[in-house]
Amino acid sequence: MSKESSRRSLFKHLNMSHYYLLATILGVVSSYFNISILIESAQVISDNFIKIFKCVSLPIISLSIIVTLSRFKGDDHIKRVWKRTMIYTASTTLIAACVACILYYIISPHNLSLGTNATPHKIPLHQPNYMGYLNTIIPSNIFAPFIEHNVMGVLLISIFIGLAISFIPEDSGKTTISNFFKGAHGIFLVITSMVVKVIPVALFGFITTTLVKLKSGLEMTKLAQYLLVIILANVIQGFIVLPLFLYFNKIKPFTMMRGMLPALSVAFFSKSSAGTLPITMDTMEKKLHVSPKISRLVLPLCTSINMNGCAAFIFSTVIYLMQNYGIEIEFSTMVMWIFISTIAAIGNAGVPMGCFFLSASLLTSMNVPIEILGLILPFYSIIDMVETSLNVWSDACVTKIIDEKMIRT
């Protein structure tokens, strides 16, 4: 009996943070000592968890919006939430682009010297351009956005379905369809809670595979200043700008950051803010006590349009390539690209490497050669991890502030 009691006590004190630490240590040890069986297992784990995240994320986005919007006919609550979401999203994304601009001016990255030893990789130009992507937002088939993992298309369909349900006359038909979507939403919330319990296993896979890739010994000297601009822009946005944003709204920033660590860890290693959404939602509701009515509307919306890290990347990358190919970068040019980067980030395609190909599309539209992007490509995985963490952190900040505002009013 005493042994059973001590075992229960051990598991009680061994909370999730300890499991995250154990997963991290195991991942570092596996990659450092090149333990092949663990590395192969980690690759299988990371691949399958990415599939799980993708499988769960879109239904969660869609059902959260449908269920939430179907409830709000007859008051201005939803209008105030949406208005604040758009204002805060646009503001934080614009500030992220401004921070990147200031850092770019201070650091002033040098041009690359492209010789025979630095032949750029070819960028696959068959990727759909940005305007082409915009044409796919309105689907011809209601299931197409889910099959193609088109987040913006899913968002649009879900908004219309949710609003349509709210306008159905009060009868058994409305109750039936509302209960159907509520039940489906409940199913995915249960699935999400199951996934959350085994997240340390996913972290082991993500950490191990990431560290193995980094052991390839990539030479960063030629792009160090450019990369520094992007990384510093994300760090300043995440650790200074957004905490101040929280502080001025009477929220303790670093207490909230500690609470968000599970979601931020998954975002960092999975490189998918949409895929991290179920964990983000679960963390905010259970650890930060955000109302589900707010989190299940604001978070899916922020996941699609709140791209702080993407704005910094687009600005820095476009200016850097323009500079490398002899285009004079004036102050007015940088100001113009602050706004272009902000708008482009808000309308980002939401696909893997979306910011990368969006930058390529913008440069191609100006007839700027994009071969240098091939040199950036090997480092984009690292950039993407930092950007995704910042995007999820920004989503959480916006959601928490809106929740607090709605409570006060």
Tokens of 371: 């071969």
Tell me the mean pLDDT in the region 123-150. 64
Q: What is the pLDDT of residue 232?
A: 96
**What gap in Å lies between CA 82 and CA 77, rounded to an integer?**
9
Q: Are 282 and 192 in contact (CB under 8 A)?
A: yes
Query: Is the model more confident about 362 or about 317?
Result: 317
Cα angle for residues 323, 309, 389 (degrees, 5° grid): 145
331 Cβ contact partners less than 8 Å away, ≥ 6 residues apart: none
CATH number at residue 185: 1.10.3860.10
Residue with tokens 């993992």: 149
Query: Is the model more confident about 223 or about 224?
Result: 224
Tokens of 257: 């950051």
**Would the pLDDT of 354 be above 70?**
no
Is residue 262 classed exposed, middle or buried when 0-12, 13-18 and 19+ CB atoms within 10 A define those classes?
A: buried
**Full 3-state SS string of the chain:** CHHHHHHHHHHHHCCHHHHHHHHHHHHHHHHHCCCHHHHHHHHHHHHHHHHHHHHHHHHHHHHHHHHHHCCCCCCCHHHHHHHHHHHHHHHHHHHHHHHHHHHHHHHCCCCCCCCHHHCCCCCCCCCCCHHHHHCCCCCCCCCHHHHHCCHHHHHHHHHHHHHHHHCCCCCHHHHHHHHHHHHHHHHHHHHHHHHHHCHHHHHHHHHHHHHHHHCCCCCCHHHHHHHHHHHHHHHHHHHHHHHHHHHCCCCCHHHHHHHCHHHHHHHHHHCCHHHHHHHHHHHHHHCCCCCHHHHHHHHHHHHHHCCHHHHHHHHHHHHHHHHHCCCCCCHHHHHHHHHHHHHHHHCCCCCCCHHHHHHHHHHHHCCCCCCCHHHHHHHHHHHHHHHHHHHHHHHHHHHHHHHHHHHHC
Q: What is the pLDDT of residue 154?
A: 79
pLDDT tens digit string along 274-333?
Answer: 778 888 999 999 999 999 989 988 998 888 778 899 999 999 999 999 998 888 888 888
Tell me the mean pLDDT in the region 154-177. 82
pLDDT tens digit string along 82-104?
Answer: 888 889 998 999 999 999 999 99
Tokens of 305: 């349009």
Question: Range of 265's domain?
Answer: 2-408
Q: Are 285 and 72 in contact (CB under 8 A)?
A: no
Query: Is the model more confident about 133 or about 12?
Result: 133
Query: Is the model more confident about 177 or about 303?
Result: 177
**Would the pLDDT of 144 be above 70?**
yes
Closest CA to 280 of 138, 395, 135: 395
Query: Is the model more confident about 305 or about 182?
Result: 182
Q: Considering just the CA atoms, what is the radius of gyration of the chain in Å?
A: 22
Query: Is the model more confident about 146 or about 98?
Result: 98
158: confidence class by pLDDT, cuts 50, 70, 90: confident
Q: What is the pLDDT of residue 245?
A: 95
Longest dimension (CA), the chain: 77
**Would the pLDDT of 187 be above 50?**
yes
58: confidence class by pLDDT, cuts 50, 70, 90: confident
> Measured in whole angstroms, how far is the alpha carbon of residue 169 from the centre of its chain?
38
Closest CA to 43 of 221, 236, 226, 210: 210
Cα angle for residues 50, 194, 257 (degrees, 5° grid): 75
Looking at the 3D structure of the chain, how many domains does it have? 1
**Would the pLDDT of 7 be above 50?**
no
Query: Is the model more confident about 130 or about 249?
Result: 249
- pTM higher than 0.75, yes or no? no
